Amino acid sequence: MARIPILGSGLNDGDELNALRSYYAQWRQNNSVMKSPFFALFKSFKELELLKNLDEGALRLYLYFGFVAGNENGVSWHSIQTIADYFDKQTRTIDGWIHKLVEAGLIYRTKDDKKSHTTFLIPYTNSILNLQPKRKHEADDQALIQDLVTSLKELAGVYGEIINVVHIFHWARDGRSKQPTHEQKPVNFLLFITKRTDGVLIGHRHHLRKSDKYGISQLYIDEVAVFDSPFLYKDKPVAGIAVKETYRLRSKDSIETLLGMVQDLAGMDEDVLLQHAQVEYGLISDVLVEDEEEEPEEQEAENDEGGED
């Protein structure tokens, strides 16, 4: 079928496609410059088949809550009647849509001391959160971990049940030599893993800020080593995991690595850790072996040159 040249005879398919790409790109840029309100919908919404499994009404309502919620906290206060008026539906229909979103783990509804219900958007993928105790502690001790456990148990309705607790450590990395160093603050934190009823995992990280003088007995390790943590959970020692300093688990770009750890540790058999080398944890001045402060490769090279056959 012949095409009517409404846009001019000089326009070909390539020009039209380029124009469409440019149109969309500029539209996005315009909205960004104007800081237009938006609702972020991540690709995982499709990959988790939420897009596929939600019926039309519940999906439309989820988008509605997304557009009216605060962009920072995902909170909205629209009443069922307000929502029903918007969609031109009966309130019982909106109630049904809400029930399906709650079942899917996408929203949480509560009165929250207000006349109208408050709606919270709930994350639908795994995440990392910083965890703080309810009271101030003078030391990183067992009282601290008990405080953190209590805080999480009180919020089990939001985060789910605790399924694992681990102690993570790695040395700092010298900015010039790019080698591990014990002369700078190490990365030392507790990682509590909770699991919601819908299977979503959350890694709750608490940095042990009063443990800067603590470390492991080796400066150089191959990817992963394990140690006996001084902390207890359910009357059992918490698993201690030391990783290579190159992972830089305190940096902003380490979230993907941390999420991978959470996924692995959530279903981990404790015996799996036995395959890794064992190191000692304690005061650096007491446990760090001086001979380990030189990089293994350099040490081996020196032995080859001056050692015995």
The domain segmentation of the chain, as residue ranges, is 44-121, 127-295
44-121: what fold? Arc Repressor Mutant, subunit A (1.10.10)
Count of residues making up the chain: 309
Q: Check residue 3 and give its pLDDT.
A: 56
Pick from 231, 218, 260, 225: nearest CA to 243 = 225
Instruction: State residue 299's pLDDT score.
Output: 44
How distant is the alpha carbon of residue 263 from its chain centre?
A: 10
pLDDT of residue 304: 41
pLDDT at 59: 97
CA distances from 130 to 123, 176, 189, 207, 225 (A): 16, 30, 10, 8, 24
Q: Are 108 and 119 in contact (CB under 8 A)?
A: yes
Q: Which two tokens stand for residue 45?
A: 């919404």
Count of CB atoms situated within 10 Å of the CB of 274: 9
CA-wise closest residue to 192 among 148, 227, 229: 148
Q: Which amino acid is at 46?
A: K
pLDDT averaged over 10-residue windows placed end to end, the chain, 309 residues: 55 74 87 86 94 96 95 91 96 97 94 77 96 95 97 95 97 90 95 96 97 96 94 95 93 92 89 91 92 50 40
231: number of Cβ within 10 Å: 21
Q: How many degrees, rounded to 5, is the angle at CA 150 between CA 145 and CA 152?
A: 95
Degrees to nearest 5, angle at CA 43 with 99 and 82: 35
pTM reported for the whole predicted model: 0.84
- Residue 77: per-residue pLDDT: 92
